[in-house]
Structure 1
Amino acid sequence: MLIESLPTREREKGHENGREKGSDFSELSRRITDAGLLRRRPLYYTLRFGAVALALGGGVAAFLTLGNSWSQLLVAVALAVVFGQLGLAAHDLAHRQVFSRRRPSETGGLLVANLLLGMSYGWWMNKHTRHHANPNHEGKDPDVSPDILVWSRRQASKAEGLPRFVGKHQAALFFPLLTLEGLNLSFSSFRALRSPSMKRPVLEGTLLVAHFVLYFGGLFTVLSPGKALAFIAVHQGLFGIYLGSVFAPNHKGMPMIEEGTRLDFLRRQVLTSRNVRGGVLVDAFMGGLNYQIEHHLFPSMPTPALGRAQVITERYCAELGVPYCQTGLLASHREALRHLRSVGQPLRDAR
């Protein structure tokens, strides 16, 4: 879906003269600030990160206790969830939701992402910052760059090789491909160490190597080769599906912005993002990213404040007449998969 599919009135609002539309966000920001929703929540993050640390410690203890047993596959399932929560913790640290200062945020991010997850904090932060600046913008948002999957019919028309083959069936292949996402993040992290944009390649590389020495060393020391490989398949596969289930509902299937389209900050973030309803369980599962609209408008807002911000933002968008998308978790996945199938249609027709 391209941004032209939105009402013409909304597209024109992005570049009206007279009242500068940046003031729309300024007014929302004032309301959010007056409500005290940008204050740090040290107690919340102490309890949350403490719970994740206990879960990680419990998983490691269970692994060492069970020894060379097929019951370790249950540990692999549990640790996939813990790794997903670690990924959400690294995300919050990168956005300075936990600490207001850069140094402790970076230190925490390097330890959680590189050492515990095996993912480069510097590489991911660079990629994610570009995504936040231009969500769903072809050519600017790395999350919708054509790689294995295609995200627009324009990309499908230019696809060659493997993306062309996968694009024909990408809706059906989406979740199977997610099983490789954890390994893909690690591979991309090592590859990025040679990039000029990497600020601390030696430090990040050392932490990444330490992670995999501990990870593979522990698995192949305690388990037989067959059980170790099975553990890796279950753990990494479910970890990738968890990550994809958290991030895919947020923007996939929402309007894609073409080059040259002008939108103010508020509309650029709101029109390309989708919130997911579901209560406390969805909040915990998605780490607050189910409030994707509010997160994109206020990236440094602590997770527990997003629910109250959602009410304020939805009402404000209604005042402005800006479409505000919110749906259930299963419905959000249906919309994302429907979009993937739709943009792959030209490839199926060409066959």
Structure 2
Amino acid sequence: MSQTLTRSPLADEPAGPGRPPRGAARERQVSDFTTLTQRVQAAGLMRRAYGYYWSKLIGLTAAGLALAVGFVALGDTWWQMGTAVVLALLMTQIAFVGHDAAHRQIFVSGKWNEWVSLIVVNLFAGMGLGWWQRKHNKHHAAPNKLDADPDIAPGVLAYTPQAAEARKTRLTRWLATKQGWFFFPLLLLEGVNLHVQGIKRVLGRGEVKRRWVELSFIAFRLVSYFALVFLVLSPGKAAAFIGVQLAVFGLYMGLSFAPNHIGMPIVPPTVKIDFLRRQVLMSRNISGGRWVDTFMGGLNFQVEHHLFPSMARPNLRKVAPMVRAYCEQLEVRYTETSIAQSYRAVATYLNRVGRGGLDVWACPLAVQYRV
């Protein structure tokens, strides 16, 4: 269930009995994240994990080459649909590494991170780094904030009742009431969308850093991929192979990203909130063991990732208990659910939004300062 923030937790209250002095609340909240950061740095959790990432880069590259050899050896058979599924899973794991590099989690050097993300995202996965990075940076700056977070902008799905009510026809308004059930099947098209949006951005008129590098990498990846598939498989099997690979890739990517924020509080455009609460209150963690870490590429620790986006992925599990305890100390709600519960929450929220039902959430910080 999502709620809407109705009052800025940074608003200063006049001094009086039972109230902090004017400005004291703001100063305390600004220092909250500084205190947490100092504790995290003292624990050594901002250190790089070179061994982990080099093993990922080498291992995934080797797996990709082995899969290509196996694909050629297996030949023109419908069993290659299984290869397409494996390739989709591999491409998603590769995309996770590109995400980490773009956040400068891997190396101290910004250039090293940039080139790894270009190679991994553009050359290996065939997607556009510039488009995704621009969109993703805006999301990190203002998660779930209306008119600021592109991830909740109106589109195929409506993330607010207002967006659902703005549907122009009776059919689209009715579809919005069922959008929670359509969401997961729609993810089968997300693989195509990710590729198309990246190509549109790199071919567009807007400024794109290293445009020709991106364009060359994407072109080489897509041409070689289609050439290999159509050389090994007959046209019908080749088309089916590409369709299965893109569908599974989109579904897997969506299942990894969707639970992170959908159904968490929505922030109106006029509300301001300090960094720690902005990142914690709008994010959802997914509980589970190491298999969940691998399946979701570390995105299951969404709270910690938003607080420390440059933290190496292996350290997210280590820092989570510290962040959880600190949030309890500050009485800041820290959300964590199972993966099944998160998917149920996503579907339920989208359906409620489509029907125009959305609870209003009175910010606990504002309530605290008014009492």
TM-score, structure 1 normalization: 0.94
Quick check: 1:101 aligned with 2:109? yes
What 5-or-longer segments of structure 2 have no aligned partner?
A: 13-22, 358-371
Give the residue type in structure 1 aligned to 2:5: E
CA displacement, residues 144-177 of structure 1 (integer Å, 9 cap, x when unaligned): 1111111111211223369646423211111111
User: Are positions 1:185 and 2:194 aligned together?
Assistant: yes
Residue matched to 1:298? 308
Tell whether the 8 Å contact from 1:150 to 1:163 is kept in structure 2 after alignment: no
Distance 1:195-1:257 versus aligned 2 partners, 3 A rule: farther
- What amino acid maps onto 1:136 in structure 2? N
Q: Which residue of 1 aligns with 2:50?
A: 42
Aligned residue among 127, 131, 141 for 1:133? 141
1:41-67 CA-partner distances (Å, limit 9, x unpaired): 101111122222222122111111111
Distance 1:254 1:220 in 2: 44
Greater RCO structure (CA 8 Å; 6+ sep): 2
In structure 1, C-alpha distance between the alignment counterparts of 2:174 and 2:85, rounded to whole Å: 31
- The 3-state SS of whatever aligns with 1:3 is strand
Of 200, 215, 226, 2:210 maps to 200
SS of alignment partner, residue 159 of structure 2: coil
SS at match of 1:261: coil
Task: Determine what percentage of the aligned residue pairs are the same residue.
Answer: 41
Q: Which runs of 5+ in 1 are unaligned?
A: 6-10
* Matches for 1:1-351 after TM superposition, within 5 Å: 1-4=2-5, 13-16=9-12, 17-19=23-25, 20=27, 21-160=29-168, 164=173, 166-193=175-202, 194-346=204-356
The one-letter amino acid paired with 2:24 is G
**Structure 2 SS opposite 1:48:** helix
Q: Which has the larger radius of gyration?
A: 2
In the aligned structure 1, how far is the partner of 2:176 from the partner of 2:66? 41
CA contact (8 A) 1:25 1:265 kept: yes
**Equivalent residue pairs, number:** 342
Q: Contact 1:256–1:272 (CA<8 Å) still a contact in 2?
A: yes
CA distance, structure 2, for counterparts of residue 61 and residue 165 of structure 1: 48
Q: 1:18: how far off?
A: 0.9
CA distance in 2 between partners of 1:310 and 1:163 (Å)? 41
Q: RMSD over aligned Cα, in angstroms?
A: 1.6
2:286 alignment partner, SS class? strand
**3-state SS, counterpart of residue 5 of structure 2:** helix
TM-score between the two structures when normalised by the length of structure 2: 0.89
Instruction: Name whichever structure is richer in helix by fraction.
Output: 1
